[in-house]
Structure 1
Amino acid sequence: MEILNEKQQLEREMEAIKARQSQIAEEERQAAETKRNEQLIIHANLNQQAQSLRAEAAQAPEEKTKLLLYGQAADITTEANRLAVELGLLKADELEEKPRFAISKKAKPFIQIGGLLTVLAWLYLRFYGLKDAIDVNNLKVEPFSQVRPYGLDSMQKLVYEKFALGVDALAAFGLLALFAPVIFSYVVPFSGSQNDLSTDFKTELTAWQRILISVSLLLGLFLLLGLSHSVKA
């Protein structure tokens, strides 16, 4: 009988221990859930702070202030991303920047002008190459089937139009550099300065202003392309 009572006592103690273990596990789960909710709130607040700093930087009048605010926003974003990884919202490899080919800001204008000159040289050679091809083809066909060089029915005219367009663009930049070098350096920043059209377009303007300028520029290019068809060789 004594052994039976002792066994029952042990069973009661084991049940009490299991109940306590379940209680502790539930308390730990609730504590972990509470901590996670708090961290989610912190993560949301960090993202909101970073967004506010970027908005403030976009409206800042001085470039020094802009860089400072953007730097602070980047630091806060880094902390928010670290917390997001801990919470399982992001994977660590998603935050790793993949190596990519980057062109320095100073080199871009030289590459752009060099690219334009290369295209102009190709168009120039293509213009006379098409003339020679037309002359050779005209020797093989009847007179009524011949194509006149520089004519409206010739691809040579289309090449000439684009060549003239490129020369005009290059001439416009040349005149701008000669008579208004300050504006030229703002539009084509050879010095690599932060005070340029590209930077101001991305940081100083609102979304609607960027849309308006983009649409106006696009329509202007379409008009310019349309007018280029009026040139004659």
Structure 2
Amino acid sequence: MTESWDRSPSKVAVVDDDPAIREVLRELLHEYGFLALPCHGSEELLELEELESLDLAIIDLKLDGESGMMLAQRLRASFNFPIILLTGTGDEVDKIVGLETGADDFLMKPFNPRELIARIRAVLRRYKRVVPAERASPAPQASAAAPVNTSSTLLGDLTFVSEERRLLDANLREVNLTNSELRLLEFLIDNPNRPINRVELLEHLGGDLSRYMDRTVDVLILRLRRKIEPNPSKPLFLQTRRGKGYVFALETT
């Protein structure tokens, strides 16, 4: 498999109501070969001529007017570019809820410039990876997920390749997963056929363990089911166990 990259610089929108932060990010992105498009807030971003061709949006969580979280949710509903949220609060609740909206990563201010660049490259690589469009061998009908080999897991017509951290469809095209969806799927695959409650899942995801965060897991499960289940309303793989949590149904030999 190969990666195909456009020779033109990746276009990165920087949405922050602090002009100093916008300028710092603009200079940093320029230094590393990206084209930065600074925006004061959501309205300025949505009016960008380049909006349809954006490669990435970096959004401050605490914007004036419409919050960064709400903006990320709107973008995720209409566009397919990755989103990185920035915050200065360190609030775990903000982090988990932000990832629920469909953001691909979350970074605390003040951040290490090299770490930000590394995360930008990582999410762009996930979204821009190109795989051959040849037909894969038909997947056998199964009532549960089945292991393909030590590094792959078969989910009906989908295959999760553990070493590459990628979910592929029957045509070997990548199914986009947000960072939280990817981590959740990996954890469930590593812990098959046993009930896992919300507290354990939240601990793995790094979330607040208060009772108010129970819905966080439910929302992530729902989103993941929509991507891996033939019929999300009647899940074969990611099953609910009333009073116990969730089970990833994995066939073993």
Query: Is TM (by shorter chain) over 0.5?
Result: no
Question: TM-score scaled by structure 1?
Answer: 0.21
Question: TM-score scaled by structure 2?
Answer: 0.20
Q: Please identify the structure whose Cα radius of gyration is greater.
A: 1
Q: Which has the higher helix share?
A: 1
Q: Which structure has the higher relative contact order (CA within 8 Å, separation 6+)?
A: 1
